[in-house]
């Protein structure tokens, strides 16, 4: 089976984890601090706060900026469910925005239109507390335009950079543009700690709040135990952090291999009906996932195609989720087909191909050959 994704794990990773396990000190210590320090050069912010996963990271950031029951958060329509779930878990309302048809990132035009309608209503404007932007599949969103829109409406914006560690443009790296950035270290990401997450920010006040919220509300700077918030236990373990430090040393190599694999796919797919990913600028896409688009006439047969490819030894999957059209959000807010037409189209047609550091050129040729035989 040519798997969809395989983490880059070798003996150096195993040794790092084993070393920590032998110490008997397993939670929130020197290894976590070392991992946070090692992450900072890859992001470019003053502070990095390691947590248990990216879902926790998103929730803690929203809590830190004051999102609560009755509030609203502007968010892309097309992402993994955590992006919207954390908003709902805080008792707030996700206000979904359609995406761009080529990058699959949130559409700045749609974002501006949504905010214009929102701020035309004083009550809705008062309740709208943040913009949550996803760097979809590892490609930077239009951060310059989004930052300008957020500044115009004086509203904080957060980067869901779960897939985008190492993505950058001339102005900076993923996680450095908004008020905070949230990262994932799930096994499908370039750098993995099994599960794990981190938050980047250049605000000392936010970092202090986040460090308290991840550790039961305990003020990290108080001289005596002082609980300043109703916090959670979303700490990262020491052995996860040790694994993360070793993994970070391979980030450039892993992202380089993914970029090379993506370029190879681009050549192989040129003679097929599949549409390859569109890259807006060099370096801005790190290909956490290689997501193609099927022709519209083949979209109804996508699940059948995924099953047939698996039977032929090739693992593929959909892109990600059209969140407003999942059962919970659709029934909760009454969304219907046509409310987000671009997300409707992309969700129906997206097909993710295998891509990871160890994927061989011959395996990529097999993937494309098997797909071509079925189209």
pLDDT averaged per 10 residues in sequence order, the chain, 375 residues:
98 97 93 98 98 98 98 98 98 98 98 98 97 98 98 98 97 98 98 98 98 96 93 97 98 98 97 94 93 97 98 98 98 98 98 98 98 95
pLDDT recorded at residue 79: 98
Among 20, 45, 55, which residue's Cα sits nearest to residue 232? 55
**Pairing assessment for the beta strands 180-184 and 197-201 based on DSSP bridges:** antiparallel
pLDDT recorded at residue 364: 98
What backbone phi and psi angles, to 5 degrees, belong to 173?
Answer: -115, 160
Q: Where in the chain is the domain with CATH 3.90.1150.10?
A: 251-374
The CATH classification of domain 251-374, taken from the options 3.40.630.30, 3.90.1150.10, 1.10.3720.10, 3.40.640.10? 3.90.1150.10
Strand-pairing partners, residue 351, are 292
Q: At a CB cut-off of 8 Å and minimum separation 6, what does 29 contact?
A: 238
From residue 116, give the alpha-carbon distance in Å to each of 74, 109, 113, 123, 152: 12, 11, 5, 13, 11
Residue recorded with tokens 């096994």 = 187
- Taking the CA atoms of the chain, what radius of gyration do you get in angstroms? 21
pLDDT recorded at residue 281: 85
Contact 343, 320 (CB under 8 A): no
Helix, strand, or coil here: 96? strand
From residue 206, give the alpha-carbon distance in Å to each of 68, 175, 181, 228, 288: 17, 14, 12, 13, 28
pLDDT recorded at residue 363: 98
11-248: in CATH 3.40.640.10? yes
pLDDT recorded at residue 322: 98
Burial of 184 (0-12, 13-18, 19+ CB in 10 A): buried
Q: Where in the chain is the domain with CATH 3.40.640.10?
A: 11-248
pLDDT recorded at residue 28: 86
Report residue 295 as tokens: 């022709």
pLDDT recorded at residue 81: 98
Q: Helices 54-64 and 82-89: crossing angle, nearest 10°?
A: 40
């Amino acid at each position: 089976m040519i798997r969809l994704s395989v983490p880059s794990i070798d003996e150096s990773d195993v040794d790092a984890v084993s070393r920590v396990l032998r110490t008997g000190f397993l939670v929130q210590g020197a290894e976590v601090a070392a991992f946070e320090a090692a992450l900072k050069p890859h992001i470019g912010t003053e502070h990095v706060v390691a947590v248990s996963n990216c879902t926790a990271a998103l929730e803690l950031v929203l809590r830190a900026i004051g999102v609560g029951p009755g509030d609203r958060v502007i968010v892309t329509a097309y992402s993994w469910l955590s992006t919207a779930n954390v908003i709902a878990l805080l008792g707030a309302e996700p206000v979904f925005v359609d995406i761009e048809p080529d990058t699959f990132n949130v559409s700045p035009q749609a974002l501006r239109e949504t905010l214009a309608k929102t701020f035309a209503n004083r009550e809705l404007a008062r309740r709208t507390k943040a913009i949550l932007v996803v760097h979809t599949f590892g490609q930077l969103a239009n951060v310059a335009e989004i930052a300008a829109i957020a500044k115009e409406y004086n509203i904080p914006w957060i980067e869901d950079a779960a897939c985008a560690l190492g993505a950058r443009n001339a102005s900076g790296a993923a996680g450095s543009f908004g008020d905070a950035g949230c990262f994932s270290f799930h096994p499908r990401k370039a750098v993995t700690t099994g599960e794990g997450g981190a938050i980047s920010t250049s605000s000392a006040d936010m970092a202090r709040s986040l460090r308290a919220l991840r550790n039961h509300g305990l003020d990290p700077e108080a001289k005596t135990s002082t609980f300043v918030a109703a916090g959670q236990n979303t700490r990262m373990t020491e052995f996860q952090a040790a694994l993360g430090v070793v993994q970070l040393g391979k980030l450039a190599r892993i992202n380089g291999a993914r970029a090379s694999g993506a370029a190879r796919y681009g050549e192989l797919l040129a003679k097929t009906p599949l549409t390859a990913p569109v890259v807006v600028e060099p370096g801005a896409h790190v290909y956490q996932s290689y997501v193609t688009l099927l022709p519209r006439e083949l979209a109804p047969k996508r699940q059948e195609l995924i099953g047939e490819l698996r039977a032929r030894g090739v693992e593929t999957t959909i892109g990600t989720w059209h969140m407003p059209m999942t059962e919970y959000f659709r029934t909760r807010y009454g969304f219907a087909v046509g409310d987000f037409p671009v997300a409707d189209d992309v969700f129906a047609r997206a097909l993710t191909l295998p891509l990871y550091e160890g994927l061989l050129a011959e395996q990529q040729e097999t993937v494309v050959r098997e797909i071509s035989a079925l189209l």
